[in-house]
Amino acid sequence: MSPDNFLRLSAILYGNPSTNPPAPPLVPVCRAAWYRGIKSGRYPPPVKLGRVSVWRASEIYALIAK
């Protein structure tokens, strides 16, 4: 996956179990903990694309690398 892409919250928190092999979650926390982390500054804020909230893949990969 290119770091210039966007990720939706479901891909970050839950992965994609329907792929072969299944993709694990990138940040395995619950949705409420994710939004608390955004509010506290631990996780990056979303980018709004219309009505959809997405996150920059580069920011998520940097978070994982930390």
Half-sphere exposure of 20 (CA within 13 A, CB side): 0
pLDDT at 18: 87
Question: 1 pLDDT band (50/70/90 cuts)?
Answer: low
pLDDT digit string, tens, across residues 5-60:
999 999 999 998 888 888 899 999 999 999 999 999 999 999 999 999 999 999 99
pLDDT at 51: 94
Q: Give the tokens for residue 14.
A: 């839950």
What single-letter amino acid sits at 17? P
**Residue of higher predicted confidence among 14 and 4:** 14
Question: How many whole angstroms separate alpha carbon 11 and alpha carbon 17?
Answer: 10
pLDDT at 19: 86
- With a CB cutoff of 8 Å and minimum separation 6, the contacts of 2 are 57
